[in-house]
Amino acid sequence: MGKNIVVLQKAIYSFSHLLIVITFFVELSWSSSRIPANFIFGDSLVDAGNNNYIASLSKADFAPNGIDFGKPTGRFTNAKTIVDILGQEIGLSGFTPPYLAPTTNGAAILRGVNYASGGAGIFNYTGKIFGGRINLDAQLDNFANTRQAIISAIGEDAAINLFRNALFSIAIGSNDFINNYLTPVISKVEQHLVSPQSFVAAMISRFRTQLMRLKKMGAKIIIVANVGPIGCIPYQRDVNPCAENQCVALPNQLAQLFNAQLRSVVQQLNTNLDGSKFIYADVYHIVDDIMRNYASYGFENSNSACCHSAGRFGGLIPCGPTSKICEDRSKYVFWDPFHPTDAANFVIAMRLMHGRTTDIWPINISQLLIN
């Protein structure tokens, strides 16, 4: 009897495995996109709900977050993130699921996984004020687990082909400044001892190693977003009082210092690594342009949080159930003290899809689809 149960269990496993393989190849043949999967790494700008499943102060699984999504999902905005919108634009079905969601298994992982986590940084100690968060090294560990699961499900050759054609996106680095270097009371770094140049150099060195690790695990098409104008977010405007139409200088200077070196890294990686394509997404330039010319994009407010509680710009308290909400979210660039609205995310995504080399370099995502 026991032997029969073992045989039955093996048969059920084999049948389940066969269903996963069949589902993958059927969906691949039906897909409207030449990109079969989307793997996402980063922080709260692209978190799709991973922090819902960990003990963390950095959460967005409560109203009014998601108010235009239909419900709170763990996304730090009123509806969709940039990567949600890009996934739709490139023809992927549904939204890329968070790694920690119980349903992210089986055939679901063959279409991509979102590993991003609110509060995460390039450095492991970044964001420790939040308690739990999944920093980039841990996100890469999680991808390694997914990679092995995919190899087990469809075989090594098919998995290598999947990774070769999949899109890998990374949006991280803001927290290493906002919740690390710029907050020395909770940081391991004291600004008077560590110069901006030294801190950024350490960031770049660590990030380059992390990008190389991802490449070695099979990623071929890697979009690397730079750090946006963090000195312009409502939080920075309120904790560093300034004139209404001015951003805070130091955070933006740090971001620009990092971005210049990151672009050089991307250029070097493209020169030295055969078979891989690193793409530099200049989010700083795009967001800066949106804020400078906000009216031309249909916005009416470019410096205050739509979801606000305290502060001249609504930047002192995170968005929560007791917050007030602007009447028309589509007219605001910022949803909360730190993150863009769905409307701003849409503009950013479209610029990454179709923009010039000043937006995304060396090619945009729509060009990537036809190459």
By the 10 Å C-beta count (0-12 exposed, 13-18 middle, 19+ buried), 79 is classed as buried
Query: Do 133 and 51 meet the contact criterion of CB atoms below 8 Å apart?
Result: yes
Q: Closest by alpha carbon to 173, among 211, 120, 99, 233?
A: 120
- Predicted confidence (pLDDT) at residue 234 exceeds the cutoff of 50: yes
- Predicted confidence (pLDDT) at residue 45 exceeds the cutoff of 60: yes
Q: Which helix or strand (DSSP H or E) is residue 217 part of?
A: none
Q: Which helix or strand (DSSP H or E) is residue 51 part of?
A: none
H-helix segments, 31-112: 82-89
Burial call 225-238: b when 16+ CB within 10 Å, e when fewer:
bbbbbbbbbbbbbb
DSSP state, residue 179: I
Q: What percent of the chain has pLDDT over 70?
A: 87
**What was the pLDDT predicted at 275?**
79
The 10 Å Cβ neighbour count of residue 164 is: 14
Phi, psi of 113, rounded to the nearest 5 degrees: -140, 145
What is the per-residue pLDDT across 46-99, written as a single tens digit (0 to 9) for each?
A: 999 999 999 999 999 999 999 999 999 999 999 999 999 999 999 998 999 999
Domains of the chain: 31-370 (3.40.50.1110)
Cα–Cα separations (whole angstroms), residue 177 to 40, 126, 229, 371? 21, 9, 11, 36
Q: What Rg value do the Cα atoms of the chain yield, rounded?
A: 21
Q: Closest by alpha carbon to 126, among 68, 67, 186, 73?
A: 186
- Average pLDDT on 280-293 reads 98
Q: Going by C-beta distance under 8 Å and a sequence separation of 6 or more, which residues neighbour residue 199?
A: 181, 189, 254
> So which residues are the catalytic ones?
44, 336, 339
Q: What percent of the chain has pLDDT over 90?
A: 83
Alpha-carbon gap, residue 326 to 340, rounded angstroms: 14
Alpha-carbon gap, residue 186 to 179, rounded angstroms: 8
Q: Closest by alpha carbon to 67, among 58, 77, 57?
A: 77
The 10 Å Cβ neighbour count of residue 14 is: 10
CA angle at 336 for the pair 62 and 98, rounded to the nearest 5°: 50
**What was the pLDDT predicted at 274?**
74
**What was the pLDDT predicted at 13?**
46
**What was the pLDDT predicted at 9?**
52
What is the per-residue pLDDT across 247-262, written as a single tens digit (0 to 9) for each?
A: 999 999 999 999 999 9
Q: Name the amino acid, one letter, at 222.
A: I
